[in-house]
A and B are shown apart, each in its own frame.
Chain A
Amino acid sequence: MTEADRETTLDRKLLELLVCPLTKGPLIYDQEKSELISKKARLAYPVRDGIPIMLPSEARAIEE
């Protein structure tokens, strides 16, 4: 993996470990938007510089 890839992709081991902090349910990684999506909470958590930001206050609300 190049340094540039590391900047944009989320470590697979880390992805496996993460759940939605609110629902503790699974997350779907949208690599293009660099977001982790919790369907149950209807929130998209941003991933910035490879660091997932698992704070509901920082997440984007997903429309129906």
Chain B
Amino acid sequence: MMLDAIGVASIDELYSDIPTQVRTNRPLKVDWLPSEQEVKSHVERMLAENKSAADIPVFLGAGIYNHYLPAAVKAILARTEFQTSYTPYQAEISQGILQSLFEFQSMIADLTQMDAVNSSLYDGSTALGEAARMACRATGRKKILVPHSLHPAKFSVLKNYAEPAGIGLETFNYDKGTGGLDSADLQSKVDRDTAAVYCEVPSFFGILDPEVANVPSICHLKGALSIVGFDPVSLGGLKPPGEYGSDIVIAEGQSISTEMNFGGPALGIIGCRGENLIRQLPGRLIGMTTTLDGKERAFSMVLQTREQHIRREKATSNICTNEALFAIGAAAYLSLLGPQGLRQLFESILVKTNYAIKMLSEIPGVVVPRFIGPHYQEFVVSFKGAKGTLARLNKSLLSHGVHGGKSLVKDFPELGESALFCVTEVHSTEAIDKLRLLTEKLLGA
């Protein structure tokens, strides 16, 4: 009947314009499982091969963090009215997602003291790439300074955003003692060609570096911008980057919106100050307005002339699909924790980090923290001993049911046998104690 309505004899006729020599005339070689039950148990069996942070304590961070995700956040993310909707092109029928995203933008803007935050980018690394391009467009300059201690994966992504735009990347050193930024080195590199300087609080090494607060004024003296990477939970206790003069902020928002999921999906956060920079923001922005009759509050996407579907090759970015669902998750998370909850969580992680540092520092042959100074959530541990000590230790730890820190041996050879450990609120005292006891025992053996 449908074929009759169309006026063709067969479905094949609808494909008659495909050149015959290239048509797929054989079944695709993919597996098939005939029932839902089989599909589910097949994938479950595969995933069962994994050891997760639910099975053993895992002391890894470096951009993706294991935090406790409140059940209410999961319940809200499971609303299929959010989950199965598309980009809110038709605002009137999509007020739910629009208002939620507006709330996300507002909360992050308040937390960071930025004028505007967009409704999400892919992840923290691409947010850095977009921020670098944005800073270069705004300043007309082509040099971005980043810390030598940047996560190498992040640096690689940044390079892929920078190089095609003719943006040069330069690194500034970290102080060998404190792990914080080497001010003299940074100051010598900021010049009239510098579009922006990127710093992170906490840094990749987990350091709360007081010098970062001085970076915006160093930048502004030379007409450059300051980009600060922040950890969303840490803003429960730390000063908003906007307060010390940062122009653009970025973050990886996975920790306040979704589980680790082997690193993705994550949540890219970007915000900025000043109208000039807002016009350069990539991605979708949601605004609060009214209905045409002016009677009701309403929300819609705004400033779309920055975006690819209107501006094409002149757009601020090609981004289209983003991580909107997790922006809603983040809005729900921040609402649930509120001012007291976020501050409390910061304090919990601060205490646990320092507890873990103290415990590990009692082990002979272990230097922790490798850098002298205040730490939050992460810290570098160095092991005295021959090459391979860390790899052997991590392997032994694993066989005893503990996943150690991220090895820095390849990426930061100057640190010797070192690893980056991460502790959040999910790491129990018992887990930290077990790490300490095992490390002591295994290093001694």
**Chain A complexes with chain B:** no
